[in-house]
Structure 1
């Protein structure tokens, strides 16, 4: 995969579709990606709902064993589920900030994708990934979010604001549709 912008060493009849994005990652990108994952994947929904469900079950068991009155049940349920939900949201934000802290030193990133995979080059690091590393992807209004496959856990985030040409967003979507399952 050539990322220098020169010839792709292919004949014109075998022209490769390439999408290029240049962007500086932000913590908000990772927050949006994790929220989208929590809404659209079974693992994300389980992660987001586990704490509130455990809190509700705990209140039901405790209130039943203590033979609590209805107002105590209601207040306990609202408080425990609310606190568990708040903790889940805070946990996603913390996770997003940690993920961002890993990529922040890379500075501005340039990602070039074609049907073979993607090459991401930062100011201090370069990373190449074949599409087999990822299993599926999802799209938000501002991002493409690639979700890890069998051999890799995690996510990769590509902000649409980095598209070098407005058609690069459509090109990347087409490349991803050919190589990954869309959620």
Structure 2
């Protein structure tokens, strides 16, 4: 509510309103968030590419030092890239399950977001954060993913399915755009 008097713009009218989301976190939410982070953030891309690049370098150096025939080198490279990519994807899935296991005890969650930050209350625990701790955010079809740092542990999610009204998703996007850098 604007107490300054005079006419208010539509954006000023939205400024004081909070958005409420009610949802139960799932492991799929965390997997979607980590995959989006891997595709769209520099830190995520480095994390995903580290194993395949290291594997290619190791196979190349070993093949050159051992004077391996070209067909052996190519097959080794293909196998190494395949295995490291598969391992990286499995690692993201494992990380998502571990992150979910930390919030699963929260049960049903209620998150209220406004211009100060977001506060989440679950059945057994609660936490709050100011937007200053969130470095940037990205949006997926089902989530808003808040990134607090370069590590995966600095990931928080706000599932869009928790919105009480479809307009709440748009209002939350406006709040995030006002307070956090979008990726």
Structure 2 length as normaliser, TM-score?
Answer: 0.90
SS at match of 1:96: helix
Per-residue CA deviations over 1:95-145 (Å, capped at 9, x if unaligned) read: 100000000010000011010111111011121111011110000011000
1:67 partnered with 2:88: no
Give the unaligned 5+ runs of structure 2: 6-11
Q: Equivalent residues in 2 for 1:143-182 (5 A)?
A: 143-149=143-149, 154-182=154-182
Distance 1:86 1:64, change over 3 A: same
SS at match of 2:146: strand
Distance 1:75 1:149, change over 3 A: closer
Contact kept in structure 2, 1:20 and 1:110, CA below 8 Å: yes
Distance 1:101 1:12, change over 3 A: farther
Give the unaligned 5+ runs of structure 1: 1-7
| Structure 1 residue aligned with 2:27 | 27
SS at match of 1:132: helix
Shift of 1:12: 10
Distance 1:12 1:166, change over 3 A: farther
How many residue pairs get aligned? The number is: 174
Shift of 1:154: 0.7
1:43 partnered with 2:64: no
Considering only aligned residues, what root-mean-square deviation do their CA atoms show, in Å?
A: 2.0
Shift of 1:66: 1.1
**Structure 1 consecutive aligned stretches of length 4 or more whose deviation exceeds 2 Å:** 10-15
Shift of 1:181: 0.2
Shift of 1:71: 1.1
Structure 1 length as normaliser, TM-score?
Answer: 0.90
Shift of 1:149: 4.6
Contact kept in structure 2, 1:132 and 1:149, CA below 8 Å: no
